[in-house]
């Protein structure tokens, strides 16, 4: 039994691929035994939202309600929920379920579920329904895929941590960023600016590699020790063999061979940005120096909570521009023009 049922809530959806988002009404399932009903306060706009709303990666299901950077307040819990209570500050990231039984799920790597995780939107849940994301006022989520937002983090600036934060935290920790390590972050956008903050807090020496020096002052303020323009060929000559780890956050295809040449022996180039186009590679770029070309996708639920606690401890949150819902389409265009510092967040009270 539930004490409250939200079945119809306002939201913003893309009615078709590449169509402007518009206000609509969607249905949410009743609160089940292990569910939490979350009153969404803020929802970040991720570049992935734009890729999917415009069907850049294919396999889009429309109408689509994007949004996987969700921060809000628990409004109700199911009778089987013990970890959360009404009034708690919580977040939901990129996934809302997984098989829970495969090796990856049991290891806390639900994002690599062998059956594929159920994503927060544009995914098919275990009941066969298409998931609808955070550009709405409420969402019902299994408590096992809900995380607690520490009191030290403002809810609005915490929302982007549920994707941008964990997307950078996970590879930085996995590849052991810390004192004595030289780390480069490619791109200073929504993902990149969190990468700089987190890598700096971990104690690494941090370099930003950006197309131009336009954001250099920001990069230094955020924690970068160095800042170079990749449009300058001298950058690649000067920094050859410099880095233990390079994390690419950009969604444009990179000249991988040039970036691999920037790594030390046993260094890794890790992609967290996802270009729509294929990329090319000369394998000799890997053989010379036993280098690794890798990818990383978000993080598991346990690691996402660890990331939030780390950010609270170190006073880290996203740099945001808070917008009303009727400016979502404008925000999409500005993201594509790199005209945001550094994450748009929707005030869902305006939906």
Query: Could you tell me the CATH number of the domain that includes residue 288?
Result: 3.40.50.720
Quick: pLDDT tens for 213-228. 999 999 999 999 999 9
Q: How many CB atoms lie within 10 A of CB 192?
A: 28
Classify residue 314: in a domain, yes or no: no
Does some domain include residue 338?
yes
Examine the fold and report which residue of 279, 295, 311 is the final residue of a domain before the chain moves on.
295
Q: How confident is the model at residue 233 (pLDDT cuts 50, 70, 90)?
A: very high
> 144 and 51 in one domain?
yes
For residue 309, being part of any structural domain is answered with: no
- If you average pLDDT over every residue of the chain, what do you get? 95
In a domain, 304, yes or no: no
Residue 305 lies inside a defined structural domain of this protein: no
**Model pLDDT for residues 30-49, shown as the tens digit of each residue:** 999 999 999 999 999 999 99
Same domain, 131 and 44: yes
Stretch 151-156: mean pLDDT, rounded? 98
Residues 136 and 234 in one domain: no
Same domain for 344 and 206, yes or no, is no
60 and 150 in a single domain? The answer is yes
Q: In the predicted model, is pLDDT for residue 173 greater than 90?
A: yes
pLDDT band at 4 (very low <50, low <70, confident <90, very high): low
Assigned token pair, 9: 């809530």
Residue at 146 is within a domain:
yes
CATH at 38: 3.90.180.10
Are both 169 and 151 inside the same structural domain?
no
Are 151 and 171 contained in the same domain?
Answer: no
- Could you tell me if 147 and 248 lie in one domain? no
303 within domain boundaries: no
Q: Which residues pair with 246 in a beta bridge?
A: 184, 269
| Claim to verify: residue 226 and residue 339 sit in the same structural domain | no
Residues 79 and 101 placed together within one structural domain of the fold: yes
* More confident position, 253 or 162: 162
Domain count, the chain: 2
195 lies in the same domain as 273? yes
pLDDT for residue 7:
83
Domain coverage including residue 213 = 165-295
pLDDT band at 276 (very low <50, low <70, confident <90, very high): confident
50 part of a folded domain: yes
Is the pLDDT reported for residue 3 higher than 80? no
The band of 5, judged by pLDDT with boundaries at 50, 70 and 90, is: low
- Band (126; pLDDT cuts 50, 70, 90): confident
Cα 63 from Cα 70, distance rounded (Å)? 19
- 99 and 176 within one domain: no
For residue 2, pLDDT beyond 90 = no
């Amino acid at each position: 039994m539930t004490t409250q049922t939200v079945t119809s809530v306002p939201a913003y959806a893309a009615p078709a691929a590449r169509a402007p988002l518009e206000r609509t009404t969607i249905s949410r399932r009743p609160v089940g035994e292990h569910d939490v009903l979350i009153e969404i306060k803020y929802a970040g706009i991720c570049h992935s939202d734009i890729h999917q709303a415009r069907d850049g990666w294919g396999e889009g299901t429309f109408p689509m309600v994007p949004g996987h950077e969700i921060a809000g307040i628990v409004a109700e819990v199911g009778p089987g929920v013990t970890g959360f209570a009404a009034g708690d500050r919580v977040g939901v990231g990129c996934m809302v379920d997984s098989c829970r039984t495969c090796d990856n799920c049991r290891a806390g790597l639900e994002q690599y579920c062998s059956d594929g995780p159920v994503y927060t939107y544009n995914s098919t849940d275990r009941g066969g329904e298409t998931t609808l994301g955070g550009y709405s006022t409420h969402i019902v989520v299994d408590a096992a895929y809900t995380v607690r937002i520490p009191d030290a983090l403002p809810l609005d600036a915490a929302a982007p941590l549920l994707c941008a934060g964990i997307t950078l935290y996970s590879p930085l920790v996995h590849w052991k960023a810390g004192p004595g390590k030289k780390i480069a972050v490619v791109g200073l956008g929504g993902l990149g600016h969190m990468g700089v903050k987190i890598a700096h807090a971990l104690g690494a020496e941090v370099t930003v590699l950006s197309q131009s020096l336009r954001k250099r002052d920001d990069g230094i303020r955020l924690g970068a020790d160095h800042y170079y323009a990749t449009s300058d060929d001298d950058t690649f000559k000067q920094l050859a063999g410099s880095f233990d780890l390079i994390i690419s956050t950009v969604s444009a295809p990179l000249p991988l061979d040039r970036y691999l040449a920037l790594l030390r022996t046993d260094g890794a180039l890790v992609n967290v940005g996802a270009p729509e186009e294929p990329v090319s590679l000369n394998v000799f770029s890997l053989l010379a120096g036993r280098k690794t070309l890798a990818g990383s996708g978000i993080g598991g639920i346990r690691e996402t909570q660890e990331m939030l606690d780390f950010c609270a401890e170190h006073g880290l949150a996203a740099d945001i521009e808070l917008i009303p819902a009727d400016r979502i389409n404008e925000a999409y265009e500005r993201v594509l023009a790199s005209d945001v510092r550094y994450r748009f967040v929707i005030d869902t009270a305006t939906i």
